Every structure is written in structure tokens, then in C-alpha cells.
Amino acid sequence: MSYQAVKAILNKGISRPTLFQVIMPIGVQAQEQLTFLCQAATVPEVAVDTITVNGHEAMGVVREQPTIVTYAKPFTITVISDRDYTVYKAMREWFDTLAKNSNPFARTLGNTGSSQRINYYNSYTKTITLKKLEQNGEQAFDSPFEIDFNKAYPIRVGELALDTEARDSYMQFSVAFTYETYTMKTNTLEAIL
Amino acid sequence: MTLRYPAGAGGTDADYIIFTPVKYKTNNESKEDAAAPPPEAGAEPVILYMPNSTPGMGNQNDWNKVDFNGPIGDMRRDVSSSVGKNFANFAESGSFGELGSGFAEDIKNEGIDGLKSRFKGVGAQFGMQALGGLLGTTPNQMLALGAGKVFNPNVELLYNAPQMRGFGMAFDMVPKDANEANIINQIIMNFKKWSAPKDLENGMFDIPYVWEIKYMTGQDVNKNMNRFKKAACINVQVQANNGTPMHVAHEGGIPIITSLQLSFTEVDIITRQDHEKVGGQGY
């Protein structure tokens, strides 16, 4: 393939993994922080489970029959924390809606004792959006696709690693979310819809 | 009101299963009058998600191996066959004359030589049986030792009847909100209540309801899966939080998972006409 042909194919350049935005229902201030301080996220793998159909059409030939579409879980993000721990606190608040007394002995209304009582699924599941961004050459961003994680909620708010030796470093933490499915929305799809 | 778990079950999106309680009638009554009487108030149909493992449905027919060993067995088989044939004809015609002439015809067909030959063999086998009692050997063992032969076992596989079918289904119910939790309670109550007898307080019980069970796809019966005859629910087993390491609950003590296991036995056998009537895969 000629240089010109490659150039024509890549007229918008190569995609950068650094450009993305995670959008969560966590309030304006925390969202602003998350937009700029989310260090890493992944578009989870989508796959299909199969069963093998051995030798039906021809002896020795194995056909794989799809049975269930699966989405890799959890969806994990890594966030750099500001000094107020704005995103961290927002994540803990969401996490704490999973069960009464998930933050035991906190002075909140209605919290008595330390028995945990799980709240209903519909009360804490929300949609998370992961938007892939690309520079469009006009000091703005295009979004080639975005992903909606359906019925998501945090299943793990990761550790805050404190270390007196880590002087020239920054505080970061990870949050893992589970979800049911995800919807990939491309520009093409949006045009059709 | 139809009870549904999950709340959206029974739509066009996913397949589902529907259980409808109906008043018990004997199979004889059912043949005379196809329409079931209306259920009592509160006997609600239940729609559930398709069980993760649908029951394997056997369609068993009972066949028995019968030995008609040696000349005695051979004679026993032929006489039984003659009796069966002629009495079956008599059951249709009701004519004693035909019954007698049927037997006479069978004896005539055997012929004098045939009868002589039979009685020789029968006599020999009787003799060996009598001596076998004294010697502690069977006629076949004696024949094998002395002549290198054994009696033909004249095996027949004879049909008895179709078997009634039993099956079970298991459902895990995990409420997403308080309303769904309430419906789960109603579903369990519904199965327990209508599968139990009613005390008439006069020394008698009213028989429990039986259940019409259908696999559904959209608004139609799923013809790509087996059908069920009306079935008696012989066990309703409920377990809270199966699989969790300890008791866990929502507010109000509502278990996170409620497992429901239902066992059924169909009330009638299945004939060829039954399969043809419903089409698809049949029962």
C-alpha cells in the first residue's frame, strides 16, 4: 500500500487512548473532577458463549453455536484524587446506598445498630456513560462512539494507598462497577435513530 | 389478577411460563365436559420467567419382557393369544357364537399332528421339570448337559400402558423493589394455597386444585417446547437465601433470594391423539 493510500485511510490520524470522558450520576462538582481526573478506564470486552456441535454436518468438524452474549465485568476506572477527595466521597456515597449500615455507626438518619440491610436493586442502579473523544483539529473533540453501561452500580471502591515515601506522587484509587449490559452508540447508529 | 415475577414477565420480549390453577376433575369427567368450572376467587394465574433448567420430560411407555419357555411356554403363549383375540372380538360383537367358533377355528388350524407334536414336547418338559425338582437342576440345565441344547425362551415384549409423567421446576426470585417483594409472597402463597386441600369441616376435604402449565413465547403457546397435561402440584418447597453464607435481608426481613421448587405429576396419561391434537412437539 502506498504512503498516499495509507494517508488517505488515516485522514483523521491514529486514535489516542488518552482521550475519553466518564459520566456518572454523582453531582456536578464530582463530575467535573471526574472528567479531568479519571486516569484510566476500559471499554470492556464483549463476547459470546458457545456450545459445540460436534460432527453434525460432517464427521470431525466442530461447529460453535452462540448461546449467550456476555459483557466483561467489572467496569473499572482509576481516578486521581483532589485534596477534598470529591470523587472518592461521591463514590462512597453511591456505594453506601447499596445497604443500610454499609458505613456503620455513621450519624445518618435512620441508621441504628450495625446489621446490614440490603436495599432494593432498582434504588441504586444507574447508567454510566463512557465517551471516547478524539481531537477534531479545531480545538474541540469529536466522539466516535460512546457506551452506556446499563443498570450499573459500584461493587468495589478501591483502597487509598498512604505512603510516607511517596513524596513525588499523587493519590489515586480505583472503583469497580458491575452492570447488566452495555449499549454502544456510534455516530452511524445515532444517524439511523 | 395475574401474578408476575419478574414484574415485566409475560411481555413480548422474553419467553415465559404460565401456571393457571383449575378445579380438579376426574379424567372421566374431563372427557364428558371439556370446559373447566370457573376457579374460586383468589386462584390467580402465575407468570414466571423461564426456569434456568427446564425439566427433562420423559414419555415413558411400560413394556414388559415375558418368557414363554419351551413347549409349555409356547403352548401357553398360543392359548393366551387365542383367548385374547377371541375375547377382544367378543367385546366388540357381543356374540357368544362368534366366541365359540373363534376358539374352534384356532384348534382346527392347529391340526391333529400339530396338537400331537405339541403334547409330546409339553410332556417331555413336564417330565424334566418334575425330575429337576428331585435332582436340583432345571430342564434347561439337563438339556444342556445331556443334549447340548436348551429350550427356546420364546421371548415376547408385551405392552402394558403409558406412564404418568412427573416433573419439577425451580425458580430463584430476587426482588428489585418492595412491590416485587410483595408479589413474590403472593406467588408463593398462591402455589401453597391452591395445591392444598380445603377442610370442609364436615369430616371431608375438598381436593386441591391442579395446574395448567404452558411454556409461552409472546402471547402464544410455545409449540417448540413440550406441552403439559393438567398437573397436580405434589410439593411446594420454599427456601430463603439459598447459597448465601448467612441470613441476609432487605428492610422488613425480606430475603434477598427466595427459591421456589415445584414438583408436579400430570393427572392423565398421554395418547397418540393427544400429541396430534396439540401439534408442535406434542406433549
pLDDT digits (tens, 9 = 90+) for B223-271: 999 999 999 999 999 999 999 999 999 999 999 999 999 999 999 999 9
Element holding B128 (H helix, E strand): helix B96-135
The pLDDT, as a whole number, for residue B36 is: 64
Q: Which domains does chain A have, with CATH numbers?
A: 14-43+71-192 (2.30.110)
- Pairwise CB contact (< 8 Å): A118 & B248: yes
State the smallest CA–CA distance between residue A125 and chain B in angstroms. Answer: 10
Categorize the per-residue pLDDT at B40 as very low, low, confident or very high, splitting at 50, 70 and 90. confident
Where on the phi/psi map is residue A179: left (φ > 0), alpha (ψ -120 to 50), or beta? Answer: beta
User: Is A117 near chain B, with CB under 8 Å?
Assistant: yes
- Using CB atoms, which residue from A118, A122, A123 is nearest to B256? A118
Q: Give percent above pLDDT 90 in chain B.
A: 80
The pLDDT, as a whole number, for residue B31 is: 67
Chain B residue whose CA is closest to A111: B251
Greatest Cα pair distance in chain A:
72
Report d(CA B269, CA A151) in Å as an integer: 46
From chain A, the residues in CB contact with B6 under 8 A are none
Residue predicted with more confidence, B234 or B30: B234
φ, ψ (nearest 5 deg) of residue B185: -60, -45
Question: pLDDT for B62-117, tens place per residue?
Answer: 999 999 999 999 999 999 999 999 999 998 888 888 888 888 888 888 888 888 88
Give, as one character, the DSSP assignment of residue A49. Answer: E
The pLDDT, as a whole number, for residue B27 is: 84
The pLDDT, as a whole number, for residue A77 is: 97
Categorize the per-residue pLDDT at B33 as very low, low, confident or very high, splitting at 50, 70 and 90. low
In the numeric block, the cell 445515532 is attached to: A190
User: Is A116 near chain B, with CB under 8 Å?
Assistant: yes
Chain A residue whose CA is closest to B256: A118
Contact A90, A37 (CB under 8 A): no
The pLDDT, as a whole number, for residue B144 is: 95
- Pairwise CB contact (< 8 Å): B178 & A100: no
User: Is A100 near chain B, with CB under 8 Å?
Assistant: yes
Report d(CA A4, CA B243) in Å as an integer: 62
State the smallest CA–CA distance between residue B223 and chain A in angstroms. Answer: 20
- Pairwise CB contact (< 8 Å): B176 & A100: no
CB pairs under 8 A between A and B: 25
The pLDDT, as a whole number, for residue A11 is: 74
- pLDDT per residue rounded down to tens, chain A (193 residues): 788 777 777 777 888 899 999 999 999 999 999 999 999 999 999 999 999 999 888 889 999 999 999 999 999 999 999 999 999 999 999 999 999 999 888 766 666 678 899 999 999 999 999 999 998 777 788 899 999 999 999 999 999 999 999 999 999 999 999 999 999 999 754 434 4
Chain A residue whose CA is closest to B248: A117
Mean predicted lDDT score pLDDT of chain B:
92
Report d(CA B183, CA B6) in Å as an integer: 9
The pLDDT, as a whole number, for residue B34 is: 58
Residue predicted with more confidence, B27 or B131: B131
User: Is A112 near chain B, with CB under 8 Å?
Assistant: no
User: Is B250 near chain A, with CB under 8 Å?
Assistant: yes
- Using CB atoms, which residue from B175, B177, B249 is nearest to A117? B249
Contact B230, B207 (CB under 8 A): no
State the smallest CA–CA distance between residue B251 and chain A in angstroms. Answer: 6
What mean pLDDT do residues B105-134 have? 89
| Complex prediction ipTM | 0.82
**Helix, strand, or coil (residue B230):** coil
Q: Which three cell numbers stand for residue A103?
A: 458505613
Contact B15, B188 (CB under 8 A): no
Q: Chain A neighbours among B 130-189 (CB < 8 Å)?
A: 174-178, 180-181
Report d(CA B184, CA A123) in Å as an integer: 18
- Pairwise CB contact (< 8 Å): A121 & B251: no
